[in-house]
Amino acid sequence: MRIKQKKLLVAAVRYMVLSVASLVSLTPLIYMFLTSLKENAFMLTSPADVVQGNKTFANYAEAWETGKLSLSFMNSLLVTVATTILVVLLGSMMAYALARFEFPGKSVFFALIILELMIPSIMLVIPQFVLAKDLHLLDNRLGLLLVYVGTNLAFNTFLMRGFFEGIPKELDEAMIIDGAGAWRRYTSLMLPLAKPALATAAIFSFLGAWDEYVWAMTIINDPAKRTLPVAIAMFSGAHSTNWGLTFAAACIALIPVLVVFFIFQRQLVGGITSGALKS
């Protein structure tokens, strides 16, 4: 009888801990959503008013059209999709070379990738700015793409290499006997077998590029070329912030992230934890 009571108590404590954690995690975001449904929220009235007041989606329409958020959304989508494709393609090629070949200088390549993994990305924002200036890529979406591919390559190459090494080498050898060259082994053996790793790398690059703010804020001036994070920061940075409008923009920016998260939840969790447990 006492054991049963103890079990009940433990379950109750677990539910309490998790309920409080979930409540604290979600309340700010729910409050943000409720504010986005309030019109002309320049002056903060009171939280009671935010919760009970009239609800309208007018802010969403206004942010999308007059706030030019549609342009920012397209810019973000364009840059993010291009980044994702290039990181997965170039990264998987590098990962294949590092996982399957012995060649002079391999350890140097590897050391450079690990080294850059440890350098904080904002540390490079100053010389990257000079580089973009020299290449005439300031205020240019290609400048965003180039740096996003470069900064996301190291981690994702590392991630995919780990997966490639787990694919049995006997499969390669069988294909070599059949006369398949390196490129064919890459396209018709590695890529199909490594789909889960490619998906994980794609999600990481997508989320990384979609949310990137510092570099975009540094090189983009033209409002027509802004990405979503810059646009949202601009909405809130104006002298008197229209919180309803700002948070409508923020909620729009969150939609693709949530969609990707819910569809690819398992790959994402697998990617995050596999790296951690191996180290």
Partner 1 sequence: MAAALSGANTLAPRRRRGNPSSGRGWRSPAYLFLLPGFAVFSLVMIYPTVQALIMSLEKWSPAPGVENTFVGLANYAKAFGDPIFWRAMANSGVYTAVTVPGQIVLGLICAVALNRALAGRTAFRIMVYIPVITSWVVVSVLFKYLFATDGGLVNWLLADATSLMDQGVDWYNGRWTAMVAICGLGIWKGVGWTMLIFLAALQAVPESLYEAACVDGAQGWQQFWHITLPSIRRTTLFITIMLVIGAFNVFVSVQLTTNGGPANLTQVPLTYLYRQAFNFLDFGYGSAIAFMLTALIFALSIGQYSLGSKSAQDAAA
CA angle 33, 36, 39 (to 5 degrees): 150
The nearest distance, CB 266 to partner 1, in angstroms, is: 11
Half-sphere exposure of 189 (CA within 13 A, CB side): 22
| Nearest distance from C-beta of residue 103 to partner 1, angstroms | 4
> Of the two residues 74 and 238, which places its CB atom closer to partner 1 in the complex?
238
**How far apart are CB 195 and partner 1 at their closest, in Å?**
19
Q: Which residue's CB is nearer to partner 1, number 74 or number 182? A: 182
Q: Are 63 and 249 in contact (CB under 8 A)?
A: yes
Q: For partner 1, which is the closer residue by CB, 140 or 236?
A: 236
Instruction: Output the six-digit token pair for 66.
Output: 């007059």
Q: How far apart are CA 224 and CA 132, in angstroms?
A: 19
> Judged by CB, which is closer to partner 1: 181, or 192?
181
Taking the least distance from each CB to partner 1, the nearer of 66 and 101 is: 101
Which residue from 94, 116, 115 is spatially nearest to 161, judged by alpha carbons? 94
Q: Give the C-alpha separation, 101 to 265, whole Å.
A: 33
Q: How far is the CB of 61 from partner 1 (least distance, A)?
A: 20
> Minimum Å distance from CB 185 to partner 1?
8
Nearer to partner 1, 31 or 64 (CB): 31
Q: Which is nearer to partner 1, 192 or 237 (CB)?
A: 237
How many CB atoms lie under 10 A from the CB of residue 183?
A: 10
Nearest distance from C-beta of residue 254 to partner 1, angstroms: 6
Min dist. Cβ of residue 120 to partner 1 (A): 5
- Rg of the chain over all Cα atoms, to the nearest angstrom: 24
> Tokens 């694919």 identify what position?
167
H helix runs in the chain, sequence order: 2-36, 47-52, 58-65, 69-100, 106-118, 125-134, 141-165, 169-177, 182-185, 191-193, 195-211, 214-219, 228-237, 243-263, 265-278
Rounded least distance, CB 161 to partner 1, Å: 12
Cβ distance to partner 1 smaller for residue 96 or 163: 96
Tell which phi-psi region holds residue 133, choosing left (phi > 0), alpha (psi between -120 and 50) or beta: alpha
Q: Among the residues of 178-240, which ranges form H helices?
A: 182-185, 191-193, 195-211, 214-219, 228-237
